[in-house]
Amino acid sequence: MNIKLSNKNSTDVNADILVEFVTSDELLKHTEVAILNKAGFKAEQDSTCFLHEKGLLVCGVDSQKSDDIRSAMACAIKLLKASNYESAKLGIHSKRTVSALVDGILLGGYEYNVYKSKPKKSTFKKLFLTADGLDFEKIERVFNEAIIVANATNFTRDIVNTTPHDLHPQTLVALAQKLAEENKLGCKILQEEELKKENMHAMLAVGRASIYGSALIHLSYKPKNPKQIISLVGKGLTYDSGGLSLKPATSMVTMKMDKAGACGVLGMIKAASELKLDVEIHAFIGAVENMIGGDAYKPDDVLVARSGTTIEVRNTDAEGRLVLADVLDYAQNKVKADGIFDFATLTGACVVALGPFTTGIMGHSHKLKHEFSKAASNAGELTGSLPFNKHLKKFLKSEIADISNTSSKPYGGAITAGIFLDTFIKDENKEKWMHFDIAGSAYTETPWDCNVYGATGAGVRMMCEYLKSID
């Protein structure tokens, strides 16, 4: 679908359908109020009414704010794609809603049809956004940036949605290498022999039973005179069976999404490089597959992490934190960063705590928590802060090793996982580090807002907003 920005008035643009967003108060003054009333349209949020004879699609919104416009636009684009119309137009009334409109169109209209033998073809081809009467130069800049971020989000969705047969640790390596070549990024890959030399035994243990070798991916974007250096770390479990602590069959479905942290990090560095941000970015990914077999790591094993910390394994399904323990330590040794942010589908407990739409944020810096909460809100993502405390830390005590990989109590599971990762953050980096648990927000089987079935690309829009705010 082609989206075109125009500085013309919408009346001067030739298109099949005019799209309008209307609140309940604005409905009373609408020129077609009589017909809309007969149709039973009340302008409730995300409601729509197609007046075909008028060439008009009216969408209900609670307000003209970005969140409501984004959600309504996602509903509208689905209707347009299902219709036999070829084009539509809508007017931009504020610079603040440009990104919301683009997200609604590109994210709400996203489809993943790779595995469909006969994917449906849409007649709808063109959408015109008109910005008559506004500062077109500013609108155009915001529009172009929003396109880049939305495309990076859909890039992330594509990778997450790819099946584990097609996307395993080594094909993830190839995908990262391709991205590095296309976007002129630095690229370093550590395969298993090199991981052994780096003493990354926790990460290696998780992937030991897989037929695919584990790998560490390091991509770098280095502009001249960067304002800051940021390290992004992603959990790349291309599939998680739970290992010998095997998941129930129903829980294994959708486990292709356990690589969403890694995929999100790839989307973030892709967007940053295309936005040409004055921020140096390093993306570190632990690409691993957690399977079962005669060589699988076991509950009761004691692993020695790269940092030298010994870890008692009580549950092989708490594997993501083992991978991140080594990758975080490696990232801190290789890059002196101003910010270290890890993204992982880490715990079901985070979904219980915050629900399926919200990313959990953990760390020591109240300043960073506030900045990311603001960035997420501006980008249309939801976040909730989960607090560390010394009492929950006691639940990770091990009698035979330095730390256990799971809590001894079934409470505060998202927080204890974050506290586990905190063990591998060096003292000088404690205030620079944030952990993002995207277990609930990374994948959905029920469409909401601009998210369709499958991967959401959680974290990409929020991180891009944060990076753009760095001065």
Catalytic residue positions, numbered: 247, 321
Tokens 């005590």 locate to 397
Residues 5-30 as b or e (16 or more Cβ within 10 Å = b): bbeeebeebebbbbbbbbbeeebeeb
Q: Which residues are 4's β-sheet partners?
A: 128
Let me know: does 305 contact 311? Beta carbons within 8 Å: yes
Let me know: does 331 contact 342? Beta carbons within 8 Å: no
Let me know: does 163 contact 238? Beta carbons within 8 Å: no
Could you tell me which of 457, 22, 31 has the C-alpha nearest to residue 234? 457
Sequence-separated contacts (24+) of 79-85 with Cβ below 8 Å = 79/48, 79/50, 80/17, 80/19, 80/124, 80/127, 81/1, 81/109, 81/122, 81/124, 82/122, 83/17, 83/50, 83/123, 83/124, 84/123, 85/16, 85/17, 85/123, 85/124
What residues contact 215, with CB distance under 8 A and at least 6 apart? 169, 170, 172, 173, 189, 190, 191, 192, 195, 287
Tokens of 153: 């989000």
Q: Which residues are 282's β-sheet partners?
A: 220, 231
Q: How far apart are CA 376 and CA 204, in angstroms?
A: 34
Let me know: does 95 contact 55? Beta carbons within 8 Å: no
Tokens 């809309």 locate to 36
Tokens of 105: 């169109």
Please state the φ and ψ torsions of residue 102, each to the nearest 5 degrees: -65, -45
